[in-house]
Structure 1
């Protein structure tokens, strides 16, 4: 029996290194796939289930075919070619990924399965090629016996996958763009391929590695720097929660989260509402009396909080879970703490559970079209929000859904859920009946019902900085909730409720150059006679 130094190699073996790197790349690409397909198909459980299934299927096929060929074809040169070919496909993804993604989206599949063709096309081939590496590595390892060789390879590959999972999640995605992360994986594959060919590289494998290296460099350098079809890219990053972009188009600066427009700012008039739906945030000011404390759950570009802080004599607290969103809002959207605007980096539900504050108005603006934190949708959360509101407090939830048809399930379920925690719930759709849109749900704690006539009278009486006549036109006192569930902590099927919206156009209407907004620049105060007016007429 030899010493430990005799049994443990001084440097990693070439096959073991190739297996390790392939594990890093395969798991890293799997996590990256979620960021690549999310702008087109969302990041629901169906998208992630499809990603996991496609990667497992491609790896399994690669293991099977590679295992059959390993005894005849397994050499360092052949492994180098496989790694280089995988890196070459990564270069294609960097250069033409959006084009491939758009083409695959044309397949006429139900929304639940719509992402599968794109995932197969974009990530099936490179994952299949990486599947060859493990059986080739087992064939080339110096371990004695099939069991020892396969066990060694499985262990090394799994460790590589662990490194790829944690490294991509905690280091690469928060620091680099999607293209640069793909470049990291491509470069690691190319470097490993080159090492496998040393010290005496054969001509054809060496030429393959050289060509792929050039392709990777060209793919990264090819796109026009700082430009997209949506405008000039001012800032772009991957956060632990989402892809984030700040894009300028003319006088408008827009915040994109996971490829979807989230907030916008007029660079010449930073507190003007650019998106029509943000004007509805002011409707509760017609209902609640003496609004001194306002809470926004979800910051984004801080369109609502900025306007509230500028317009009203009220303390505005904002809770935003993504610290990068807060930093971007301060740097690019002219958000400044102080003067009644306070920002907290926390989850919305966590904040409400921990705070002892109560509010006159809570605006829930943390939902996306395709990714909704279910813990902010349930009846338990709505009851918590109710507890943090004063006696005449109001909750306004910005829901993205259709107002009718199959794509309205989430909106109607959210309405039904809020109605379990609040005596009165009202809806304000912001676009046409058939389109996916922002629908504002307003809940009040009192037994008195708000009417359209009451809102119009308050709109005439009160100076809230906006003429809300057009918004009041969309007032709905009731909503059909048949066939949808009440969302609860132990069962909130948000993903299945959002599914019918997949592939549908999301309409976000923009205001005109000022719309019906008041020209007053100084903060306004609710008129005393309006604040003392009677409660809601029946």
Structure 2
């Protein structure tokens, strides 16, 4: 859901929680978003983070055309869209992104080649040394591979945190190429500060419904997904 006239608006529950992941990274200057949809997330970052450049990768040209025609998505020197497969794009880039957001689904789930250990290792390689990955993941109730995906992220990264979303069947993984110990209270505090500093129109800290390190995730571990 997109408000074409309001680039700072986020309607979906997972999207409203997602900026809280910036509690793990200071002043992101380069953001990569894999999966355009209606363009609400890139437009949000473009509006509220004026020093940030945003690259967007979208497989389907029709999606890009619809986002531009009806959803207010506009390219400029700070925001560019690349029409290609997300894995091919990440294979071609050098390290340097502060934040990589994985928000790509086909009709049924996350495409298999965008969920494997080999892919996530390449994603990690596209980050700078203090960068983070944020992934929109369907939860256990609608995703039989949830436990396998969580295990795969833990195999690819040094630390993984899970944000619950106040919407059935959705989680956010925040994956770090370094160890960082942080409590829920600290993340809520940092998120609130981010929201105020960047003039969000809602209380970002209040959107954190549940938060924990994946080490204490109660979901039964699965197998690592591989190509």
1:276 has 2:8 as partner: no
The verdict on how the C-alpha distance between 1:357 and 1:444 changes in structure 2, with shifts beyond 3 A counting, is closer
Q: Are the equivalent residues in 1 in contact too, given 2:25–2:98 (CA < 8 A)?
A: yes
Displacement after TM superposition at 1:460 (Å): 4.0
The one of 165, 175, 193 equivalent to 1:461 is 193
The one of 364, 372, 397 equivalent to 2:135 is 397
Q: Secondary structure at the match of 2:154?
A: helix
| Aligned counterpart, 2:54 | 316
Q: Are the equivalent residues in 2 in contact too, given 1:295–1:362 (CA < 8 A)?
A: yes
Return the TM-score normalized by structure 2: 0.89
Displacement after TM superposition at 1:275 (Å): 1.1
Give the whole-Å Cα distance in 2 for the aligned partners of 1:385 and 1:346.
16
Structure (1/2) with the larger strand percentage:
2
The verdict on how the C-alpha distance between 1:369 and 1:419 changes in structure 2, with shifts beyond 3 A counting, is farther
Displacement after TM superposition at 1:357 (Å): 4.8
The one of 84, 89, 98 equivalent to 1:346 is 84
Q: Are the equivalent residues in 1 in contact too, given 2:102–2:134 (CA < 8 A)?
A: yes
Q: Are the equivalent residues in 2 in contact too, given 1:291–1:361 (CA < 8 A)?
A: yes
Give the whole-Å Cα distance in 2 for the aligned partners of 1:430 and 1:482.
20
The one of 210, 219, 223 equivalent to 1:474 is 210
Gapped runs of 5+ residues in structure 1? 1-263, 490-538
Q: Secondary structure at the match of 1:487?
A: coil
Displacement after TM superposition at 1:368 (Å): 4.5
1:425 has 2:160 as partner: yes
Displacement after TM superposition at 1:266 (Å): 2.2
| Aligned counterpart, 2:181 | 449
Displacement after TM superposition at 1:439 (Å): 1.1
Larger RCO, structures 1/2 (Cα 8 Å, 6+ apart)? 2
Return the TM-score normalized by structure 1: 0.39
Q: Are the equivalent residues in 2 in contact too, given 1:352–1:385 (CA < 8 A)?
A: yes
Q: Secondary structure at the match of 2:38?
A: coil
Give the whole-Å Cα distance in 2 for the aligned partners of 1:378 and 1:443.
14
Q: Per-residue displacement from partner, 1:423-449 (whole Å, max 9, x unpaired)?
A: 1111112136xx4x2211111122122
Q: Secondary structure at the match of 1:382?
A: helix
Q: Secondary structure at the match of 2:145?
A: helix
Q: Per-residue displacement from partner, 1:487-534 (whole Å, max 9, x unpaired)?
A: 111xxxxxxxxxxxxxxxxxxxxxxxxxxxxxxxxxxxxxxxxxxxxx
| Aligned counterpart, 1:26 | none
1:440 has 2:182 as partner: no
Q: Per-residue displacement from partner, 1:238-277 (whole Å, max 9, x unpaired)?
A: xxxxxxxxxxxxxxxxxxxxxxxxxx11244343111121
Displacement after TM superposition at 1:351 (Å): 0.2
Gapped runs of 5+ residues in structure 2? none
Give the whole-Å Cα distance in 2 for the aligned partners of 1:357 and 1:345.
20
| Aligned counterpart, 1:486 | 224
Q: Per-residue displacement from partner, 1:335-362 (whole Å, max 9, x unpaired)?
A: 1100411100111110010122520000
Q: Secondary structure at the match of 2:54?
A: strand
Q: Are the equivalent residues in 2 in contact too, given 1:413–1:481 (CA < 8 A)?
A: no
Q: Per-residue displacement from partner, 1:133-180 (whole Å, max 9, x unpaired)?
A: xxxxxxxxxxxxxxxxxxxxxxxxxxxxxxxxxxxxxxxxxxxxxxxx
Give the count of matched residue pairs: 220
Give the whole-Å Cα distance in 2 for the aligned partners of 1:483 and 1:421.
15
After superposition, where does 1:258-407 map in structure 2 within 5 Å?
264-312=1-49, 313-368=51-106, 370-402=108-140, 407=142
Q: Are the equivalent residues in 2 in contact too, given 1:367–1:399 (CA < 8 A)?
A: no
